[in-house]
Chain A
Amino acid sequence: MVQLTQKAKLVDRRQMSWLERIYLWNILKGMMITLSHLFKRKATINFPEQKRYFAPVFRGLHVLNRDEEGRERCTACGLCAVACPAEAITMEAAERLPGEEKLYREEKYAARYEINMLRCIFCGLCEDACPKDAIYLSQTFAPSNYSRKGFIYKKEDLLIPNPLTDPEDYKKALGDRPAKKINN
């Protein structure tokens, strides 16, 4: 038979010798492998105390961004929702009233913005589609929850901390990702 890969091995069906038949040699060989792992680096980490390194391109929990003045960037343009292959994003837009200029960057904003994390596949297409640098995927996981209801993430859950009132948390949430260049 023609071998398609190098992985297939022919089974050796020869009669075993006396040394092989007492299996002691094979047991020792196996123990050596086990022992050698004692001196290797551990594959696990002590999770809550130690955190694993996430690459800057890691696609984790979504964050709705604010600008330097703490105004929400999202204008509810719907490009993330139309780009979303899982149809996880829904939103409702509203017009900014006079007096709300400090809250929202543009005259239109997302009054409601929800991501269904049960549907989300963390592909990052929403981040690619966003023309306002308003949504990005952070370097953290979406936390687990006891009920399905806890996975409908609303705007309050997704918004980044305000850089004016909470600059430390804002920096932490921003991570070490470079800001997207926006054209307007």
Chain B
Amino acid sequence: MADEKKLFKVTIDNITVEVEPGTTILQAARKIGGDIVPPAMCYYTTLKDSGGKCRSCLVKVAQGSSADPRPMPKLVASCRTNVMDGMVVENITNPAVLEARDGVVEFLLINHPLDCPICDQAGECDLQDFSYNHGEAGTRFEFKKRLFELENLGPYIQLHMTRCIMCYRCTYVADQLTEQRLHGVLDRGDRSRISTYISKAIDNDFSGNMIDVCPVGALTDKTFRFKNRVWFTKPMDAHRECSKCNGKVHLWLRGEEVFRVTGRKDQWGEVHDWICNECRFEKKKVSDWVIEGPAKMNRHSVISANKYYNLKTPDDVLPEVMGGREPKLLMDIHSVSGVNDPDIDLSAIEGPATSKTFQKK
């Protein structure tokens, strides 16, 4: 066969894999999987031209190719470096790579506020995972972190500019998914910020996807803001008929309440089927969706904490024993507890709850 493609042999951390020419080192490592996959904060498979900004995926190329076996002089960003035939890459086997990664964490955290207890992204944050896996527990930074003026991006998207790590993923979403980009990066250096021109609201149809691609909590869902922590909600695979997108989503449920709708993320935290804003922000009822079943979450993620899969609830034998009579409820928890008040439907209110929400009517 003449059109048979020549595959490149690349060795990553002593594991050899054959990939097509034009594959990046990161994609080759993902093909192998496991611990040797470099972390990626700015690279996003489904967004063209993304990557090369955060430096968290640095690897050492110990041998450029079989034709030119010299090592590359510096660590390279694996998300933007294509493989060559006979390339030898060192990731976790090289202490210099791990040390560089510690440094990258330190630099990313210089201006990133440690407000994870407040941040809605906590629990599914790439930077949180990255800094837990690499770097030191303490800080050497003694100065004030940069601050920004608050900016309103409309009723759906909440911007926390202090948390931004300048990965540019959201601008690629705007460029590649929506017909008109309404936001971009303004200013330079450490003052650079994600912003719209003269506080315009972002209301493109697929703009909500920038929430999903944001690796940190800089862009979060305003309709979910402060309503619950992600690890208390149950992710469910669900779909609906939608004229704009294919309607395949994760529903984040608590009981019968839909707290949040996101795109389906794969094991690398990447969304392949973009969803429209109508599905994401406006369909907050279980009846709007066809629920397929619990979503598969990473076993080590806090989201899978306190969740019981394949739970078999035993049949309630009490009514049978008592001749059809329901057992008498000795204490209705709502008579004492104010949490989860049946009169206050948190998932139904538009923005975050405030003290007014909880005032007795």
Residues of A whose CB lies within 8 Å of any CB of B are 75-79, 81-82, 87, 90-97, 100, 106-108, 111-112, 114, 131-132, 148-149, 152, 154, 183-184
**What chain A residues lie within 8 Å of B335 (beta carbons)?**
149
Contact A149 B353 (CB under 8 A): no
Contact B339 A95 (CB under 8 A): no
Given contacts A90-B339, A92-B339, contact A97 B353 (CB under 8 A): no
- The secondary-structure label for the interface of chain B is loop
Contact A111 B355 (CB under 8 A): yes
Task: Choose among B227, B331, B346, B351 the residue that contacts A149 (Cβ–Cβ < 8 A).
Answer: B331
Given contacts A75-B118, A77-B117, contact A95 B338 (CB under 8 A): no
- Taken together as a complex, chains A and B put the C-alpha atoms of A77 and B128 apart, in Å, by 15
**What chain B residues lie within 8 Å of A114 (beta carbons)?**
337-339
In the complex, B336 has a CB within 8 A of chain A: yes
- Taken together as a complex, chains A and B put the C-alpha atoms of A81 and B117 apart, in Å, by 13
Contact B336 A149 (CB under 8 A): yes
Contact B117 A93 (CB under 8 A): no
- Taken together as a complex, chains A and B put the C-alpha atoms of A164 and B331 apart, in Å, by 38
Given contacts A106-B115, A148-B330, A183-B114, contact A112 B336 (CB under 8 A): no
Shortest CB-to-CB span from B192 to chain A, Å, is 24
In the complex, B357 has a CB within 8 A of chain A: yes
Shortest CB-to-CB span from B131 to chain A, Å, is 12
- Taken together as a complex, chains A and B put the C-alpha atoms of A96 and B352 apart, in Å, by 10
In the complex, B116 has a CB within 8 A of chain A: yes
- Taken together as a complex, chains A and B put the C-alpha atoms of A108 and B354 apart, in Å, by 9
The 3 residue pairs across chains A and B that have the minimum distance between CB atoms: A77-B117, A78-B229, A95-B352
Shortest CB-to-CB span from B353 to chain A, Å, is 4
Interface range on chain B: under 10, 10 to 19, 20 to 34, or 35 or more? 35 or more
**Nearest neighbor of A91 in chain B, beta-carbon distance:** B339
Contact A90 B337 (CB under 8 A): yes
Contact A108 B226 (CB under 8 A): yes
Contact B226 A100 (CB under 8 A): no
- Taken together as a complex, chains A and B put the C-alpha atoms of A78 and B254 apart, in Å, by 15
In the complex, B60 has a CB within 8 A of chain A: no
**What chain A residues lie within 8 Å of B122 (beta carbons)?**
77
Contact A94 B226 (CB under 8 A): yes
**What chain B residues lie within 8 Å of A90 (beta carbons)?**
337, 339-340
- Taken together as a complex, chains A and B put the C-alpha atoms of A49 and B255 apart, in Å, by 49
Shortest CB-to-CB span from B18 to chain A, Å, is 43
In the complex, B139 has a CB within 8 A of chain A: yes
Given contacts A82-B306, A100-B355, contact A131 B116 (CB under 8 A): yes
Shortest CB-to-CB span from A184 to chain B, Å, is 5
Task: List, sorted by A's number, 29 A–B pairs whose CB atoms are closer than 8 Å.
Answer: A77-B116, A77-B117, A81-B232, A82-B231, A82-B232, A82-B305, A82-B306, A90-B337, A91-B339, A93-B352, A94-B352, A94-B358, A95-B351, A95-B352, A95-B353, A95-B354, A97-B356, A106-B117, A111-B355, A111-B357, A112-B339, A112-B358, A114-B339, A131-B117, A149-B336, A152-B336, A152-B337, A154-B338, A184-B115
**What chain A residues lie within 8 Å of B118 (beta carbons)?**
75, 77, 106-108
- Taken together as a complex, chains A and B put the C-alpha atoms of A81 and B330 apart, in Å, by 25
**What chain A residues lie within 8 Å of B333 (beta carbons)?**
152
Given contacts A111-B355, A152-B337, contact A95 B225 (CB under 8 A): yes
Shortest CB-to-CB span from A75 to chain B, Å, is 5
**What chain B residues lie within 8 Å of A76 (beta carbons)?**
226
In addition to A106-B118, A107-B118, 6 A-B residue pairs with Cβ atoms within 8 Å of each other are A90-B339, A92-B358, A93-B226, A94-B358, A111-B358, A152-B337
- Taken together as a complex, chains A and B put the C-alpha atoms of A76 and B232 apart, in Å, by 12
**What chain B residues lie within 8 Å of A152 (beta carbons)?**
333, 336-337
